Amino acid sequence: MDIRSEKGASIYTPLILKLYDTWVLNISNNYAWRCNTDNILLPHFKQNMAKSHLDIGVGTGYYLANARKSSDAITLLDLNPNSLAAAKKRIGAHRIKHVLQHDIFTPLPESEKNKYDSVSMYYLLHCLQGNIKEKASAIENASQALTEKGTLHGATILGSGVEHNAFGRYLMKVYNKKGIFSNKFDSLNDLKNVLDHYFDQVNIQQHGVVAVFTAAGKK
Ligand SMILES: C[S@@+](CC[C@H](N)C(=O)[O-])C[C@H]1O[C@@H](n2cnc3c(N)ncnc32)[C@H](O)[C@@H]1O
């Protein structure tokens, strides 16, 4: 495993994944990042999920498990086998077409290109090492999975140009020091510039310190 990628993925042990929904999706999203999971992120996910769907950075599979009606032709992609196993179990094996252990910094296999009407990456970009410009290759690789009419959607915690509260500042400091996050310099503007580089139609909204985006019309 590339050391650059390993840092953002290896933290997700079976134990951490058991605590993930409570700590991240409930407590941290509400009180540190000020972006409610069920009012903001889940509706965004549901609204943009198509029938043929690829989820990158699956975690516990929370969004897919709660977007039941949308699709049962799902591909899961993650670097960490623990995340893939937990998400597959949570979502239901019958809804999963394909499971791919893969580093999103590496180009996708040909079989995964031009294939999906929607690709999601929620809370993945802030885990990837480097600044937003260095993360551009992950966005480029994700864009290649999309059909011509497909949409990339996701969310990421910003570190620059936003007002973190005391709880958020504390988590940012600890997570960035440990390499769980690498987002100190991630700004809305830089994210928009990278998405604009690969897509014709980009929409980004900021909720708390989280950028929530869609990008369609891949170039
Ligand atoms: C913070 S979790 C997000 C989980 C879920 N999408 C959510 O929003 O609840 C990040 C996930 O991205 C995965 N990940 C981190 N770096 C990766 C990489 N370079 N390639 C693929 N997956 C990666 C981790 O293993 C983990 O499952």
Question: Which residues have a Cβ under 8 Å from the Cβ of 57 and sit 6 or more positions away?
Answer: 77, 78, 83, 104, 121, 122, 123, 124, 127
Q: Is the pLDDT at 71 greater than 90, yes or no?
A: no
What is the model's pLDDT at position 93? 92
CA of 103, closest atom in ligand 1: 20
Q: How confident is the model at residue 191 (pLDDT cuts 50, 70, 90)?
A: very high
Mean pLDDT of 187-193: 97
Ligand 1 center to 39 CA (angstroms): 21
Phi-psi region of 175 (alpha: psi -120 to 50; beta: other; left: phi over 0): alpha
CA of 105, closest atom in ligand 1: 19
Ligand 1 pocket check: which of 124, 137, 175, 213 to mutate, most ligand atoms within 8 Å of Cβ?
Answer: 124
What does DSSP assign to residue 26? I
Ligand 1 center to 166 CA (angstroms): 25
Q: Is the pLDDT at 131 greater than 90, yes or no?
A: no
Mean pLDDT of 140-161: 98
Mean pLDDT of 60-89: 92
CATH class of residue range 3-218: alpha beta
CA of 5, closest atom in ligand 1: 19
Ligand 1 pocket check: which of 3, 49, 79 to mutate, most ligand atoms within 8 Å of Cβ?
Answer: 79
Ligand 1 center to 154 CA (angstroms): 12
What is the model's pLDDT at position 132? 87
Q: What is the pTM of this model?
A: 0.96
Place of tokens 């949308």: 70
Ligand 1 center to 45 CA (angstroms): 16
Residue extents of the structural domains in the chain: 3-218
What average pLDDT does the structure give for the chain?
95
Q: How confident is the model at residue 2 (pLDDT cuts 50, 70, 90)?
A: low
Q: Is the pLDDT at 70 greater than 70, yes or no?
A: no
Is-contact 102 80, C-beta < 8 A?
no
Ligand 1 pocket check: which of 40, 80, 122 to mutate, most ligand atoms within 8 Å of Cβ?
Answer: 80
Give how far Cα 124 sits from Cα of 58, 165, 182, 183, 192, Å.
9, 22, 10, 11, 16
Q: Is the pLDDT at 4 greater than 70, yes or no?
A: no
